[in-house]
Amino acid sequence: QFQVQESGPRLVKPSETLSLTCSVSGGSIANSSYYWAWIRQPPGKGLEWIGSIFYSGSAYYSASLKSRITISIDTSKNQFSLKLNSVTAADTAVYYCAPYTMVRGVSKFDPWGQGTLVTVSS
């Protein structure tokens, strides 16, 4: 069973780049049965999928955020990362990472990290 933990700056200035890392334990991030995902939740609002990456580096992103996102993976460190550029106050959210699988038409994110609140403010 994997465990995941988000880390990174809690405060980012408008127009700058938000950078977060997800550390994976309990198994190899190079496990071919899994993708690795970022999801966010603005305060008081619902969940929004940001994007997912495979150990090979193949990634796919939310259509609404695609122009501003880069997700990368470092198999040597068992970590994957999120960069979101040109942030605004609307990007203030709790950011979660999670392992993701899609098998026979069923997708699931499990387990989730505890989440990290990132605030965009000057």
Partner 1 sequence: SSELTQDPAVSVALGQTVRITCQGDSLRNYYASWYQQKPGQAPVLVIYGQNNRPSKIPDRFSGSSSGNTASLTITGAQAEDEAAYYCNSRDSYNNLEVFGGGTKLTVL
Residues that bind partner 1 (CB under 8 A): 37, 39, 46-49, 52, 60-63, 96, 100, 102, 104-115
Pairing outcome for strands 59-61 and 69-74: unpaired
Contact 113, 51 (CB under 8 A): no
CB of 80 to partner 1, least distance (A): 16
Nearest of 107, 85, 71 to residue 17 by alpha carbon: 85
Residue 52 or 79: the one with the smaller Cβ distance to partner 1 is: 52
CB of 46 to partner 1, least distance (A): 4
Residue 38 or 91: the one with the smaller Cβ distance to partner 1 is: 38
CB of 106 to partner 1, least distance (A): 4
Residue 16 or 109: the one with the smaller Cβ distance to partner 1 is: 109
- Rounded to an integer, what distance in angstroms lies between the CA atom of residue 15 and that of residue 88? 6
Residue 17 or 62: the one with the smaller Cβ distance to partner 1 is: 62
CB of 97 to partner 1, least distance (A): 10
